[in-house]
């Protein structure tokens, strides 16, 4: 791209000025206030300022104030032509009272502002700010930006970073400030809000809210939740109130209904009570009359009946007495028969006793001590025998050779022993062979002779006693002893039976008594008793009847004296009945719905109780009704507020998510920028830096190729104070050209430089001029200066203004 000319017909203080530019270096020379800057501004305005620029905007205000011809110009007019890829774009713009604009290119002309702007943007490739910050930038603005970057040592140590940062902040936006602002805003929105769970931090809801440091999302959330609670609470109270009102209304209606019904009945209450009394009286009178009628009728009948019943009673009593006598006779007869039976029984027992005695007499009486003695002797014999038999001797006569062999074994008698016979002897054995051999053998531990003596003595005494008692052995002695005793016991028992049967009487007495009852006669006791029971029952009934009749009769007599008096009384009662009935006629009738006055009065009582109950409920409910405090703001009023709060909360949350997204995008972009290759820009910068320093400095690898820095010929890194060392403007130029080439790449670029050499010493100025010339070799440079010497130094197309 290159500018071919600029025509300032009227623009600020410049009018009717045409400046033509050539390829390569163009130098505009002019004194201060000659209009150099205005021409450059006109060029920028032709490219980027809308001819319809509003006056009431900041840019508009500045523009018109600065560029409408002073003092009375009402319009500014500029024409320019630039060439891109051999195509000319002629731009004409007029601002002010009759704004207009056009772009001509390739035989076409555009006048619509939107189309014009679009076409120009398309042709220029970059927007207004890119041109403003790089192509038209003032040297001092770039210096300021770079100074800011160089203050960050970490960044400035590495040229790569510097270049990146330079690109980043070309629009005057500090990355750190932007990040900080986003973080600040995030905090404003998200403080105490748990983003991950989309709820308050620590899940502290409206009932336990955070008090301090609340972000706007949480504030909106709390506001929404508070309103929700208020709504729920209002609805609850309103519903409660409504229900209570309904209840109260129902109670009052019930109360009113009861009252009305009660009042209706209450007006009859006096009459009904009176009616109740009179009706009761009437009933009594009617009963009394009935009684009197009956008494009058029954009086003589009863008198007669009472007499008859008395006679009947006498007869029955006589009959009863006869039966009683008969019963006594029957009793005596029965007793005599019993005595007879008793005597027979006594007789029978006496015979049994005689039998027992006869049986006893057949036995010798054995006394208890005799039995004990026999037992003792028997035991003594057994003991002696047992001891003697303790030493048992066994033998066999193997050979006798014809001799007679006799043996005496234990207590046995002497006996002959044959050849081959076996023998057993207890404690003692005596063997005798004819008269020539006599052998006694004893068991050593047994005093056989003594024992045998004991045995024999006991045996003798036992035999003597048994003989005396006329029994063969001890067992029989014991049997006879028990039998004798048994007979004796039976005799005793039978004698006791006789004693019991006779009691204190003797048999003779009993026999005499039987004789006395012989002349008596009577029916069976049972039969007599049956008759007696019947007569007694009749007698009891008759007596009761007579008593009752007598009692009633006495009462009547006491009460009425006689039937005449009864009839007088009846007449009086009947008159009273008529009077009472007349009174009842004058009283209010009992309402049809009641059967009795009691029922009426009971119902009225119930109504009064029900009214009292309803009145109590009314009081209680009324108290409750007035105790309810309706909310100041109703549910209905809160509903839209809640809706708004809900929307606000969503809005705040959406804003927060926007901020988060922006932060993420920004970080990603920064990372991409950090990681992205910056090599072409570095190379360009290196090229221009080398020119600037006559090859003394270039860009090279540092610290093991980890960083790119500016190094000297001897490979020593330029200190970080590079930009404060005086070569600042030169380095700036190198950077700017690098950026220009980087942006426009293969296209022809152009740049407007204000007097960037003014502060350089001659040496650096020469180097800077070389740099500009180098850039101008392939691009267009428009250089403005007030110094003719600088113009001379730069040479190129010098334009005097």
Interface residues toward other proteins, by CB under 8 A: 48, 53-54, 56-60, 117-118, 121, 126-130, 132-134, 167-175, 177-178, 181-182, 185, 238, 242, 245-246, 248-249, 252, 622, 625, 630, 633-634, 637, 640-641, 651, 654-655, 658-659, 661-662, 665-666, 668-670, 672-673, 743
Q: Which is nearer to other proteins, 136 or 556 (CB)?
A: 136
Q: What angle do CA 187, 191, 196 make, to 5 degrees?
A: 105
Give the N- to C-terminal CA distance of the chain in Å, as an integer.
Answer: 24
Q: Please, what is the minimum distance in Å from the beta carbon of residue 242 to other proteins?
A: 6
Pick 172 or 300: Cβ nearer other proteins = 172
Please identify, using beta-carbon distances, which residue of 658 and 694 lies nearer to other proteins.
658
Q: Which residue lies nearer to other proteins by CB, 187 or 357?
A: 187
- Taking the least distance from each CB to other proteins, the nearer of 243 and 404 is 243
Distance of CA 242 to the CA centre of its chain: 32
Give the CA angle between residues 67, 73, 79 to the nearest 5°.
55
Q: Residue 175 or residue 346: which is nearer to other proteins going by CB?
A: 175
Shortest distance, CB of residue 788 to other proteins, whole angstroms? 34
Could you tell me the smallest distance in angstroms from the CB atom of residue 658 to other proteins?
Answer: 4
| Residue 250 or 283 with smaller CB distance to other proteins | 250
Contacting residues for 718 by C-beta, under 8 A, at least 6 apart: 697, 709, 710, 711, 712
Spatial strand order of the sheet with 414-416 comes to 414-416, 405-409, 428-433, 437-442
Beta carbon of residue 65, minimum distance to other proteins (angstroms, whole number) = 16
Nearest Cα residue to 296 out of 288, 286, 308: 288
Q: Is 596 left (phi over 0), alpha (psi -120 to 50) or beta?
A: beta
CA dist., res. 589 & res. 268, Å (int): 8
Nearer to other proteins, 702 or 732 (CB): 732
Angle at 248 between CA 243 and CA 250, to 5 degrees: 95
CB of 266 to other proteins, least distance (A): 25
* Alpha-carbon separation of residue 748 from 27, 83, 139, 327, 738 (angstroms): 18, 10, 21, 173, 13
Shortest Cβ 35–other proteins spacing (Å):
27
Closest to other proteins by CB, 1 or 169: 169
Residues 275, 277, 283, 286: is their CA dihedral positive or negative?
A: negative
Q: Nearer Cβ to other proteins, position 361 or 677?
A: 677
Instruction: Name the one residue in this structure whose structure tokens are 């805003």.
Output: 185
Cβ at position 661, least distance to other proteins in Å? 5
For residues 299-318, one letter each, b for 16 or more C-beta atoms within 10 angstroms of the residue's C-beta and e for the rest, the string is beebeeebeebeeeeeebee
Query: Shortest Cβ distance from residue 633 to other proteins (Å)?
Result: 6
Smaller CB distance to other proteins: residue 399 or 745?
745
Q: How far is the CB of 248 from other proteins (least distance, A)?
A: 7
**Is residue 88 a contact partner of residue 81, using CB atoms and an 8 Å limit?**
yes
CA dihedral sign, ordered 42, 48, 54, 59: negative
Q: How far is the CB of 651 from other proteins (least distance, A)?
A: 7
Tell me phi and psi for residue 123, to 5 degrees.
-70, -40
**Residue 33: CB minimum distance to other proteins, A:** 30
CB of 171 to other proteins, least distance (A): 5
For the chain, the C-alpha Rg in angstroms (whole number) is 80
Residue 452: closest CA among 411, 398, 510: 411
Closest CA to 732 of 702, 776, 782, 767: 767
Count of helices and strands (H, E) across the chain: 22, 20
Would you say 742 and 680 are in contact if contact means Cβ atoms under 8 Å apart? yes
**Best CA proximity match to 262, nearest among 566, 571, 615, 684:** 615
Report, in Å, the least distance between residue 57 CB and other proteins. 4
Closest CB 585 distance from other proteins, rounded Å: 39
Q: Rounded to whole angstroms, how far apart are CA atoms 229 and 631? A: 12
Q: Which is closer to other proteins, CB of 27 or CB of 166?
A: 166
Instruction: State in angstroms the smallest separation of the CB of 669 from other proteins.
Output: 5
Closer of 227 and 711 to other proteins (Cβ) = 227
Q: Is 211 helix (H, G, I), strand (E, B) or coil?
A: coil
CB of 750 to other proteins, least distance (A): 16
Nearer to other proteins by C-beta: 117 or 286? 117
Task: Name the residue nearer to other proteins (CB basis): 530 or 665.
Answer: 665
- To which residue do tokens 């040297």 refer? 139
- Each as own residue / partner, the long-range contacts of residues 537-540 (CB below 8 Å, 24 or more positions apart, any chain) are 538/316, 539/313, 539/316, 539/317, 539/320
Q: How far is the CB of 63 from other proteins (least distance, A)?
A: 11
**Cis peptide bond upstream of 71, omega within 30:** yes
Closer of 166 and 388 to other proteins (Cβ): 166
32 vs 58, beta carbon nearer other proteins: 58
Residue with tokens 């049986």: 359
DSSP states along 308-368: HHHHHHHHHHHHHHHHHHHHHHHHHHHHHHHHHHHHHHHHHHHHHHHHHHHHHHTSPPPPH
Q: Give the shortest CB-174-to-other proteins separation in angstroms.
A: 6
DSSP 610-659: HHHHHHHHHHHHHHHHHH----SS-HHHHHHHHHHHHHHHHHHHHHHHHH
Question: Which residue, 588 or 630, has its beta carbon nearer to other proteins?
Answer: 630
d(CA 793, CA 363): 193
- DSSP 3-state percent helix, strand, coil across the chain (nearest 5): 65, 15, 20
């Amino acid at each position: 791209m290159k500018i071919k000319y600029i025509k300032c017909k009227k623009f600020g203080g410049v009018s009717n000025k045409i400046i033509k530019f050539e390829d390569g270096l163009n130098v505009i020379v002019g004194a201060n206030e000659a209009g150099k800057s205005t021409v450059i501004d006109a060029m920028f305005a032709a490219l980027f300022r809308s001819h319809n620029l509003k006056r009431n905007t900041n840019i508009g205000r500045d523009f018109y104030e600065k560029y409408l011809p002073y003092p009375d110009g009402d319009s500014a007019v500029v024409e320019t032509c630039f060439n891109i890829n051999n195509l000319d774009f002629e731009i004409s713009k007029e601002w002010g009272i009759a704004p207009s604009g056009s772009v001509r290119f390739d035989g076409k002309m555009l006048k619509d502002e939107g189309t014009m702007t679009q076409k120009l943007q398309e042709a220029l490739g970059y927007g207004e700010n890119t041109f403003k910050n790089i192509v038209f930038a003032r040297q001092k603005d770039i210096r300021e930006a770079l100074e800011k970057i160089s203050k960050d040592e970490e960044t400035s140590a590495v040229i790569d970073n510097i270049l990146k940062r330079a690109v980043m902040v070309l629009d005057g936006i500090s990355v750190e400030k932007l990040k900080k602002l986003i973080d600040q805003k995030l905090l404003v929105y998200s403080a105490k809000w748990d983003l991950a769970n989309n709820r308050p931090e620590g899940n502290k809801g409206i009932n336990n809210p955070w008090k301090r440091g609340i972000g706007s999302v949480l504030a909106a959330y709390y506001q929404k939740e508070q309103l929700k609670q208020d709504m729920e609470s209002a609805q609850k109270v309103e519903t409660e109130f409504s229900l209570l009102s309904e209840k109260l209304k129902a109670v009052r209606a019930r109360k009113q209904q009861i009252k009305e019904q009660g009042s209706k009945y209450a007006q009859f209450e006096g009459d009904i009570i009176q009616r109740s009394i009179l009706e009761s009286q009437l009933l009594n009178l009617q009963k009394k009359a009935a009684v009197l009628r009956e008494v009058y009728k029954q009086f003589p009948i009863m008198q007669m009946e009472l007499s008859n019943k008395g006679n009947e009673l006498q007869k029955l009593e006589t009959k009863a007495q006869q039966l009683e006598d008969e019963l006594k006779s029957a009793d005596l007869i029965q007793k005599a028969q019993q005595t007879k039976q008793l005597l027979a029984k006594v007789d029978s027992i006496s015979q049994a006793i005689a039998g027992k005695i006869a049986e006893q007499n057949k036995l010798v009486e054995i006394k208890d001590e005799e039995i004990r003695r026999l037992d003792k002797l028997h035991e003594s014999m057994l003991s002696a025998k047992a001891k003697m038999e303790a030493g048992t001797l066994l033998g066999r006569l193997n050979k006798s050779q014809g001799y007679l062999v006799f043996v005496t074994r234990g207590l046995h008698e002497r006996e002959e022993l044959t050849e081959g016979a076996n023998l057993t002897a207890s404690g003692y054995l005596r063997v005798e062979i004819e008269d020539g051999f006599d052998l006694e053998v004893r068991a050593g531990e047994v005093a056989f002779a003594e024992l045998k003596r004991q045995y024999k003595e006991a045996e003798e005494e036992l035999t003597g006693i048994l003989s005396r008692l006329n029994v063969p052995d001890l067992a029989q002695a014991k049997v006879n002893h028990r039998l004798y005793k048994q007979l004796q016991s039976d005799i005793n028992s039978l004698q006791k039976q006789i004693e019991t049967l006779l009691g204190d009487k003797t048999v003779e007495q009993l026999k005499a008594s039987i004789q006395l009852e012989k002349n008596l006669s009577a029916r069976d006791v049972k039969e007599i008793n049956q008759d007696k029971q019947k007569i007694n029952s009749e007698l009891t009934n008759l007596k009761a009847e007579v008593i009752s009749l007598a009692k009633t009769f006495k009462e009547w007599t006491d009460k009425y004296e006689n039937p005449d008096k009864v009839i007088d009384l009846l007449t009086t009662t009947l008159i009273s009945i008529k009077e009472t009935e007349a009174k009842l006629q004058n009283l209010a009738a009992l309402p049809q719905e009641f059967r009795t006055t009691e029922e009426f009065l009971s119902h009225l009582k119930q109504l009064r109780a029900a009214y009292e109950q309803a009145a109590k409920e009314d009081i209680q409910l009324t108290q409750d009704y007035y105790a309810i405090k309706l909310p100041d703001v109703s549910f209905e009023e809160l509903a839209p507020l809640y809706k708004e709060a809900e929307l606000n909360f969503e809005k705040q949350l959406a804003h927060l998510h926007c901020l988060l997204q922006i932060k993420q995008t920004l970080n990603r972009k920064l990372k991409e920028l950090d990681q992205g290759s910056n090599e072409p820009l570095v190379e360009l910068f290196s090229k221009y830096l080398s020119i600037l320093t006559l090859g003394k400095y270039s860009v090279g690898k540092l610290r093991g190729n980890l960083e790119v820095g500016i190094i000297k010929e001897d490979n020593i890194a330029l200190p970080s104070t590079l930009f404060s060392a005086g070569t600042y403007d030169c380095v700036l130029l190198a950077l700017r050209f690098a950026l220009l080439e980087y942006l426009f790449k293969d296209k022809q670029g152009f740049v407007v430089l204000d007097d960037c050499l003014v502060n350089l010493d001659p040496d650096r100025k020469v180097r800077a001029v070389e740099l500009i010339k180098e850039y101008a070799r392939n691009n267009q440079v428009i250089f403005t200066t007030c110094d003719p010497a600088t113009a001379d130094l730069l040479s190129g197309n010098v334009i005097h203004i």
